[in-house]
Amino acid sequence: MIEWQHIFTGSQIVPIPAALSQKQFNTRWQALCRPSQLQAPLQWRDWLLDRGSLTRRLVQLSNSNFRVEVLGQHWAIPTASERKALGMRCRQKALIREVQLIGHDQAWVYARSILPAATLTGRQRQLALLGSRSLGTMLFSEPTMQRSPLQISQLHLHTGETAWARRSVFNLAGKPLLVCEVFLPALLQVE
């Protein structure tokens, strides 16, 4: 059984997925223009700044003892911050996919992906049918893939620990989707 990580939002403790999707939760994202200005601790910087495939790196770290656990996938209106990043209008719905990336039976990363309906057309329709397959594997095998600069955020867990997160917009044949990855403290215990 996987233990949920939580965030303290000032007045309540909520699971990371709920905290990232609640409209009242103010997740501040910092554009990463100069990596040298990143305030994250050294042990997290390599994870936050790596522009390669996170899935590939986690598979290697786990000696292939890796899996994707789907927490939920549904159509909903993204948060204001997510809509802004994707250039979406207020009432537009998107497919929201929430997963945990698990190595050695521990949740290492929580990921939330926002896929606008307009993105899920043509060859990209298959993104809605991933199941427990990794979105990252598909993204990094797509020759048309382009990635926007990373944005970074720091989240405070109820345990007193800090979780660092990053997000970026991927474009596949000019169609955008947003991927947010929260690096959980258990990941540092592996290296």
**Who contacts 44 (Cβ-Cβ below 8 Å, separation ≥6)?**
164, 183, 188
| pLDDT band at residue 140 under the 50/70/90 scheme | very high
Predicted local confidence at residue 2, as pLDDT = 47
Q: Which of 42-46, 79-83, 94-98, 137-141 has the lowest mean pLDDT?
A: 42-46
Predicted local confidence at residue 77, as pLDDT = 92
Predicted local confidence at residue 105, as pLDDT = 92
User: What is the domain-level CATH number for residue 138?
Assistant: 3.40.1410.10
Residue 71, domain member (yes or no): yes
Provide the phi-psi class of 132: left if phi over 0, else alpha when psi is between -120 and 50, else beta.
Answer: alpha
Residue 185, domain member (yes or no): yes
Reference 20, options 149, 166, 131; nearest CA is: 166
Reference 94, options 85, 104, 103; nearest CA is: 85
Per-residue pLDDT tens for 70-93? Answer: 999 999 999 888 999 999 998 999
Per-residue pLDDT tens for 105-133? Answer: 999 999 999 999 999 999 999 999 999 99
The domain containing residue 65 runs over which residues?
A: 40-189
Residue 23, domain member (yes or no): no
Residue 84, domain member (yes or no): yes
3-state secondary structure of 75: strand
Number of domains in the chain: 1
Rounded to whole angstroms, the Cα distance separating 53 from 166 reads 13
What is the token pair recorded at 142?
């797509």
Residue 161, domain member (yes or no): yes
Decide which of 3 and 148 is more confident: 148
Reference 23, options 74, 76, 71, 75; nearest CA is: 76
Residue 136, domain member (yes or no): yes
Q: Are 174 and 14 in contact (CB under 8 A)?
A: no
Provide the phi-psi class of 122: left if phi over 0, else alpha when psi is between -120 and 50, else beta.
Answer: left
What is the token pair recorded at 179?
């991927």
pLDDT surpassing 80 at residue 157: no
Q: Are 49 and 39 in contact (CB under 8 A)?
A: no
Predicted local confidence at residue 101, as pLDDT = 95
Per-residue pLDDT tens for 23-68? Answer: 434 467 878 765 555 677 888 888 998 989 999 999 999 999 999 9
Residue 103, domain member (yes or no): yes
What percent of the chain shows pLDDT beyond 90?
Answer: 59
- The mean pLDDT of 133-149, rounded to a whole number, is 92
- Stated length of the chain: 191
Residue 31, domain member (yes or no): no
